[in-house]
């Protein structure tokens, strides 16, 4: 093997140094990136822990509120199919407000195990004026926690507020009880209050 002269030796040492510096930079850069990621995870964990502590501190108050709300919800017999009943109640609200329902599709009931409650949704398509839509939403709001609207969509093809149409989904929440526990029959939606009582 040929012996390297001084110039070649210097070039190989410089090359080895550059390679060593490049590798060191790559390793250091990956370690710094990993360290930043760990710091982000630690900060995220701290924030989540703080939120969990705040929720735990509020737990007694939240349990009390949940009990109050559960007491206001309708109770239905176990095993009773509520699809037609819920569709009828939605139609009744729409009739009172002047909103025309062009389609009603009840969804399958869901059991909310953590809350020991049931939820059923009714998908609706509608048409009417902005005034009738607002009246419908107001009446729905007056029912309290019994029902809530989600995914409200509206179209205005004519450009006037009297020719709106669209879709929405109404979620109903209720409890189920054995038939023997219901004394006066199946609870229904409370009627909206036109004039709230004076304080």
Q: Give the number of other CB atoms < 10 A from CB of residue 49.
A: 10
Say how far residue 64 (Cα) sits from the centre of its chain: 22
Task: Write the pLDDT tens digit of every residue in 33-85.
Answer: 999 999 999 999 999 999 988 888 877 887 777 777 777 777 878 877 888 88
Query: What pLDDT score was predicted for residue 70?
Result: 76
Are 96 and 138 in contact by the 8 Å Cβ rule? The answer is no
Band the pLDDT of 12: cuts 50, 70, 90: confident
Residues present in the chain in total = 199
- The SS3 call for residue 172 is strand
pTM greater than 0.75 (yes/no)? no
- Give the burial class of 129: count Cβ atoms within 10 A of its Cβ; 0-12 exposed, 13-18 middle, 19 or more buried: middle
Task: Write the pLDDT tens digit of every residue in 103-135.
Answer: 888 888 888 888 878 888 889 999 888 889 899
Q: Which residues pair with 119 in a beta bridge?
A: 110, 173
Q: What share of the chain is helix, strand, coil (3-state, %, to 5)?
A: 50, 25, 25
Q: How many helical (H) and strand (E) elements, i.e. helices and strands, does the chain have?
A: 3, 6
Query: What pLDDT score was predicted for residue 39?
Result: 92
Q: Name the nearest CA neighbour of 109 among 174, 27, 16, 50.
A: 174
Q: Name the nearest CA neighbour of 120 among 76, 67, 70.
A: 76
Give the percent of the chain with pLDDT over 70. Answer: 88
């Amino acid at each position: 093997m040929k012996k390297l002269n001084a110039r070649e030796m210097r070039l190989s040492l410089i090359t080895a140094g550059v390679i060593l510096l490049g590798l060191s930079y790559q390793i250091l850069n990956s370690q710094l990136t990993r360290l930043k990621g760990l710091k982000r995870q630690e900060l995220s964990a701290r924030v989540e822990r703080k939120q969990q502590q705040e929720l735990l501190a509020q737990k007694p108050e939240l349990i009390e509120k949940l009990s109050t709300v559960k007491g206001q919800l309708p109770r239905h017999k176990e095993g009773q199919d509520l699809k037609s009943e819920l569709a009828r109640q939605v139609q009744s609200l729409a009739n009172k407000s002047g909103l025309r329902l062009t389609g009603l599709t009840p969804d399958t009931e869901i059991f909310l195990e953590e809350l020991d409650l049931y939820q059923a949704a009714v998908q609706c398509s509608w048409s009417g004026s902005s005034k009738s839509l607002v009246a419908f939403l107001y009446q729905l709001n007056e029912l309290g926690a019994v029902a809530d609207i989600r995914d409200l969509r509206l179209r205005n093809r004519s450009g006037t507020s009297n020719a709106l149409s669209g879709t929405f989904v109404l979620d109903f929440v209720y409890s189920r009880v054995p038939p023997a526990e219901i004394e006066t029959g199946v609870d229904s939606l409370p009627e909206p209050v036109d004039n709230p009582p004076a304080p």
